[in-house]
Amino acid sequence: MAAPKPVGLLISHVILDLDGTLLNTDSIVSRVVEPFLVKNGKSWDSKKAHKLVGKTPYEAAALVIEDYGLPYSTEEWCNIKPLPGANRLIKHLRSNGVPMALASNSPRSNIEAKISCHEGWKESFSAIVGGDEVEKAKPSPDIFLEGAKRMNTDPSNCLVIEDSVPGVTAGKAAGMHIIAVPSVPKKTAEFSSADEVINSLLDVRPEKWGLPPFDDWIEGTLPIEPWFISGPVIKGFGRGSKVLGIPTANLPAESFSDLASEHTSGVYFGWAGLSTRGIYKMVMSIGWNPYFDNTEKTVEPWLLNDFGEDFYGEELHLAIVGYIRPEANFPSLESLIERIHEDGRIAEKALDLSVYAKYKDSPYLRNPLQQANSADGQAELNSK
């Protein structure tokens, strides 16, 4: 990801976009609108596709509903999950007294409905600006300028966090500093005008902008709310053992399309349970593997143990408990292999810390149904 450009003035205020930046609207059209079309006996009209250009997924969904006369209101998209790192960022800025504004092209009423589903969000923002409250929506700077005005600060004091090119264009036109968090994969080059481009909100480093730093990183790792998955080990691309010399225990991609959408690409770690062998330390990549230019997002765990044999077909249970770094490309195969081994060393050491080691005893690692039915509510179960 691109490093931030030098900042002459210290940032004092933050303005956040909503759809695709804080809320996971990445797949709303394909997961919500298309089933609605089928259910209501409609078929997609490609001639109407031009209306969706430059729209957020939420806005695109609203347009499709209107054009096709579907009997659903856009409020049915209210309860969209936060993107990884969204709650953490909002809580951190609020607890450190950093004024925040929310600026979205969506109508103000829709914004209020969506954030009402997330505890503490509405109270965290000093100002909320909707697209229906200004003369021109993004890529015009009007929304961001209005946000600065309502916070009684100069635009140059504001840091904008955006996921779209129109949003970045609007922020720069407003004279603000911009962090881009692209919601569309493999489109980083389109965000060159941003001051910094990062992979996800987990990678925001406030201290780069003169803001209070996070204090939750532990020995190069970030504790996350655990998530749990399971499935049979299958043959993958064949490059783990043959090309990298690192045998990954691949899981069936079709079983984890929702999971891949919910979790940002990057390198994670945790514990792996094999039904007949035991529990092992594990490091895992989720994403597009830029060096190999994947066409689909994959989940590829590496169990940190020398098994000496394949175990295809065996049931694998994973408890993912920490984050190491964003997904990255590498100039050579050697540098990629070196970094994977470094990730493994980081995970190996971190999993001995009490904050992570306690999950080794999770019932889910031995029987996923036990975790799903348990009362401790550690995390939502994501498995087929």
**What is the full DSSP assignment across 129-157?**
EEGGGSSS-TTSSHHHHHHHHHTT--GGG
Q: Are 340 and 246 in contact (CB under 8 A)?
A: yes
For this structure, is 17 an active site residue? yes
Cα gap 49→18, rounded to integer Å:
23
Cα–Cα distances (Å) from 129 to 104, 137, 150, 241, 365, in that order, read 7, 10, 9, 52, 45
Q: Which pair of tokens denotes residue 85? A: 């790192």
Q: Strands 222-232 and 127-130, how do they pair? A: unpaired
Q: 29 forms bridges with which residues in the sheet?
A: none
Q: 17, 146, 262, 327: which is the annotated catalytic residue?
A: 17
Radius of gyration of the chain (CA): 22
For this structure, is 380 an active site residue? no
For this structure, is 123 an active site residue? no
Helices and strands (DSSP H and E) totals, the chain: 13, 11
Q: 142, 163, 195, 300: which is the annotated catalytic residue?
A: 300
Q: 19, 142, 162, 203: which is the annotated catalytic residue?
A: 19
244 three-state secondary structure: helix
Residues marked active site are found at 17, 19, 300
